[in-house]
Amino acid sequence: MSNVETNLIKPFPVAFSGHTLKYEIECICKIFLPMRKFTFLYDTTQLPADAEEGAVLILEQLGEQSRFWVQVQYRGQVMEQEQQFPACSPETEKQLCEYRFSAMLFRLLEEITDLHPAWGLLTGIRPVKKVQPLLGQGLFKAEVCEKLHEKYWIAPEKLSLVYDTAMVQQPLLEKTPKHGISLYVSIPFCPTRCSYCSFVSHSIAQAQNLIPAYLEKLCEELKIWGQLVREQELLVDTVYFGGGTPTSLTAAQLEQVLTAVQENFDLSHLREYCVEAGRPDTITSEKLETLRRFGVDRISVNPQTMQDHVLETIGRKHTTAQTVEAFRMARAAGFENINMDLIAGLPDDTPEGFHDTLEQILALDPDSITVHALTLKRAANLFAEGEQQVHNPVEQMVQESMRRLPEHGYAPYYMYRQKNTIDNQENVGYARAGKESLYNILIMDESQSIFGAGCGASTKLVEPCGRITRIHNYKFPYEYIRQFDQLMQKKEQVREICERIREQEAEK
Do 231 and 373 lie in one domain? The reply is: yes
Instruction: Identify the three-state secondary structure at position 83.
Output: strand
Q: What is the pLDDT of residues 165-176, one digit of tens each?
A: 999 999 999 999
> DSSP E strands: which ranges in 357-494?
368-373, 411-417, 426-431, 449-453, 458-462, 468-472
108 and 134, same structural domain? Answer: no
**Where residue 354 falls among pLDDT bands split at 50, 70, 90?**
very high
Question: Which pLDDT band, with edges at 50, 70 and 90, does 505 fall under?
Answer: confident
494, part of any domain: no
**CATH assignment at residue 62:** 3.30.160
Asked if residue 38 and residue 96 are part of one domain, the reply reads yes
Instruction: Work out the widest C-alpha separation in the chain, in whole angstroms.
Output: 75
Domain annotation covers residue 501: no
As a whole number of angstroms, the distance between CA 383 and CA 361 comes to 28
CB 370 within 8 A of CB 340: yes
108: in domain:
yes
| 394-436: pLDDT as tens digits | 999 999 999 999 999 999 999 999 876 777 889 999 999 999 9
pLDDT higher at 484 or 379: 484
218: CB partners within 8 A, 6+ apart: 185, 186, 257, 260, 453, 454
CA distance 38 to 22: 11
Is the same domain home to 329 and 205? Answer: yes
Distance CA 295, CA 339 (A): 17
Average pLDDT across the chain, whole number: 92
pLDDT(381) > 80: no
Structural domain includes residue 506: no
Report how many domains make up the chain: 3
Identify whether residues 223 and 355 lie together within a single domain: yes
Q: Are residues 237 and 98 in the same domain?
A: no
| pLDDT at site 36 | 87
What CATH number is given to the structural domain containing 385? 3.80.30.20
- pLDDT category at 378 given cuts 50, 70, 90 is very low
Query: Is 505 contained in some domain?
Result: no
The structure's pTM equals 0.91
pLDDT at residue 3, as a whole number: 45
133 falls within a domain? yes
Kindly state whether residues 160 and 218 are assigned to the same domain.
no
496, part of any domain: no
Same domain, 82 and 164: no
Q: Is the pLDDT of residue 208 over 50?
A: yes
Q: Is residue 507 part of a domain?
A: no
Instruction: Note the pLDDT of residue 382.
Output: 47
Length of the chain: 508
- Three-state SS sequence of 148-165: HHHHHCCCHHHHHHHHHH
325 and 383: one domain?
Answer: yes
Structural domain including 144 reads 128-171
The pLDDT value recorded for residue 201 is 53
Distance CA 134, CA 136 (A): 5
82-91, 201-210, 435-444, 478-487: lowest mean pLDDT where? 201-210
Mean pLDDT of 474-486: 93
Residue 427 near residue 160 (C-beta atoms within 8 A): no
pLDDT confidence of residue 8: 53
Three-class secondary structure assignment of 274-289: EEEEECHHHCCHHHHH
pLDDT at residue number 317: 85
